[in-house]
Amino acid sequence: MSVREDLRDALADERRVPRPPEPAAMVIFGASGDLTARKLVPALYDLAAARRLPMGFAVVGVSRTKMSHEQFRERLRGSLERHRPQNFSEEVWESFSRSLFYLPGDSRLPETYEELRDFLKRLDAERGTGGNRIFYLASSPSLFAPTVGRLGEAGLSREEDGSYVRLVVEKPFGRDLESARRLNADLLRHFREDQIYRIDHYLGKETVQNILALRFANGIFEPVWNQHYVDHVQITVAEDIGIEGRGAFYEEAGALRDIVQNHMMQLLCLTAMEPPVAFDAEPVRDEKVKVLSAVRPLPEERVEEVAVRGQYGRGWIWGEEVAGYREEEGVSPDSTTETYAALKLYIDNWRWAGVPFYVRTGKRLPKKVTEIAIRFKPTPHTPFARAAGAEPNVLVIRIQPEEGISLKIGAKIPGAGFEVGSVNMDLLYGTAFLEEVPEAYQRLLLDLMLGDATLFIRADEAEAAWSILDPVLRAWSEARDVPAYPAGSWGPEEAEELLRRDGRRWRRP
């Protein structure tokens, strides 16, 4: 191999393996909670196993439960062993666990922050965390603003001597446009926008990022990715699980707030946006905001024409009988919270004029599947007979499971005569590359430490997503009846009708 080739390969490797993050202390508010144990600490552990954490790194957990550092570590070890026994290594844990610390405290009280400030200073001196701080809001959303207020008052949001301070905000980001605006204003009182990382774990999924690669790293899709060729788009986030013991949370949220406002709006943006000039935070987020701003406002007084909701009743999933939503723990017996939502959206811009985007999500549907299906227009004329069930081209981007891409094309059915049927060309993402696919939180936490906000939500983006849904939220808050659907079905009959009116039907993924 020539020196020139050696150099080329070394540069390519450098681009693929990002630079290591700077030393830092990550403070997690809500450290005794579910998210910390199931997602955040396992993701940090995976980064440690992959040697992606800096030498001077520490986690400081904060919540009210009284625990010592050692008890905190034992609790997290138990969770790692329980949830991912195959990934657990005693050696990695031994060194990683030494970077875990715990500080009992109420995040509403100023004294918690005095103790925290002193503790962080000690970590800088003893563990080499370098004065860099990440504050992760993983407690209940009602504590987001008060916690940020206290951080600001304690001077902990201020950056000193070339060090950074970053703030991570979990979902849900508000519960409507007004509360999201208020929350943004509360955060921006103490942190600059470029210090704030609003998280949506869908953006950490490799297959979600792959939407951009598919669209903008291939020349063949872009020319047909518009209203000249696309008949309509269907985005589905279906779950077979119910609310998994989160009744109190879900009663306040519902499908629209829990999934549509964040994950589905992100999928919509990545599918519909214009090519960004660079894969950097501002250009990517500018393009997403343009899509959200171009979504035609939904008419509050005629919401039923464009939006359908539903609530699951008793039914069968994978051969097992399951309870209805109103029978779940923490749910009111006359609850009107939606566990299913479907919308018809238009993006009024040059590329998408007149193309409907149908989006749907639901709990207790027949299977877990997230996909984006681009349905192309039929050919203007066909000289062949079409077999029953033959369809125009459909490009399906499968986000999960069986991650990959499938293109439905017309092909001659073997034999005498000339009849055309539909066949699928499938690419399975998992078999195409040898690399292990990182968990969404692993990717996002690494980007956060590297200061790359491309896969995080900007303030105006969160508000633009809420402003699309606000009319539906208002209309649904007044309606008394929610159409029921049996668990294990594809949702209420009204959702079928939404597409039937347009001469279309939902896919059965």
Ligand X SMILES: NC(=O)C1=CN([C@@H]2O[C@H](COP(=O)(O)OP(=O)(O)OC[C@H]3O[C@@H](n4cnc5c(N)ncnc54)[C@H](OP(=O)(O)O)[C@@H]3O)[C@@H](O)[C@H]2O)C=CC1
Contacts to ligand X by CB under 6 A: 29-35, 38, 63-65, 106-108, 138-141, 143, 170-172
Footprint on residues 246-275 left by ligand LXAUTJHC (CB under 6 A): 258
412 is in an annotated binding site: no
326 is in an annotated binding site: no
Task: Let me know if 396 is exposed, middle or buried by CB neighbors in 10 A (0-12, 13-18, 19+).
Answer: buried
Q: Are 276 and 187 in contact (CB under 8 A)?
A: no
Residue 336 Rama label (left phi>0; alpha psi -120 to 50; beta): alpha
Nearest approach, Cβ of residue 249 and ligand LXAUTJHC (Å): 8
Q: Which of ligand X, ligand LXAUTJHC, none interacts with 403 (beta carbon under 5 to 8 A by kind)? A: none
Q: Which of ligand X, ligand LXAUTJHC, none interacts with 477 (beta carbon under 5 to 8 A by kind)? A: none
Nearest approach, Cβ of residue 202 and ligand LXAUTJHC (Å): 7
Tell me whether residue 40 or residue 120 sits nearer to ligand LXAUTJHC (CB atom): 40
Tell me whether residue 61 or residue 315 sits nearer to ligand X (CB atom): 61
8 is in an annotated binding site: no
Beta pairing, strands 385-386 & 340-346: unpaired
Tell me whether residue 32 or residue 370 sits nearer to ligand LXAUTJHC (CB atom): 370
Query: What x/- string results for residues 467 through 486 when contact with ligand LXAUTJHC is judged by CB under 6 A?
Result: --------------------
Nearest approach, Cβ of residue 3 and ligand X (Å): 49
Phi, psi values for residue 375, rounded to 5°: -100, 120
Q: Which of ligand X, ligand LXAUTJHC, none interacts with 324 (beta carbon under 5 to 8 A by kind)? A: none
Closest listed residue to residue 338, CA positions, set 497, 171, 472: 472
Nearest approach, Cβ of residue 244 and ligand LXAUTJHC (Å): 7
Q: Is 239 in the site for ligand LXAUTJHC (CB under 6 A)?
A: yes
DSSP letters for 207-260: HHHHHHHHHHS-TTTGGGSSTTTEEEEEEEEE-S---TT-HHHHHHH-HIIIII
DSSP 8-class letter at 36:
I
Distance, CA of 75 to CA of 67 (rounded, Å): 10
Tell me whether residue 116 or residue 369 sits nearer to ligand LXAUTJHC (CB atom): 369
First-residue to last-residue Cα distance in the chain: 48
3-class state of residue 315 by DSSP: strand
> Which position among 83, 190, 228, 263 bears the catalytic label?
263
The neighbour count for residue 280, using CB atoms within 10 Å, is 12
Nearest approach, Cβ of residue 201 and ligand X (Å): 6
Q: Which of ligand X, ligand LXAUTJHC, none interacts with 407 (beta carbon under 5 to 8 A by kind)? A: none
Distance, CA of 481 to CA of 141 (rounded, Å): 28
Q: Which residue is nearest to ligand X (CB)?
A: 33
Beta-strand ranges (E) seen in 327-393 are: 340-346, 356-362, 369-376, 385-386
Footprint on residues 362-391 left by ligand LXAUTJHC (CB under 6 A): 370
Which strand (E) or helix (H) includes residue 497? helix 493-500
Is 263 catalytic? The answer is: yes
Distance, CA of 472 to CA of 177 (rounded, Å): 12
Q: Which residues are annotated as a binding site for substrate?
A: 201, 205, 239, 258, 363, 368
Q: Which residues are annotated as a binding site?
A: 64, 171, 201, 205, 239, 258, 363, 368
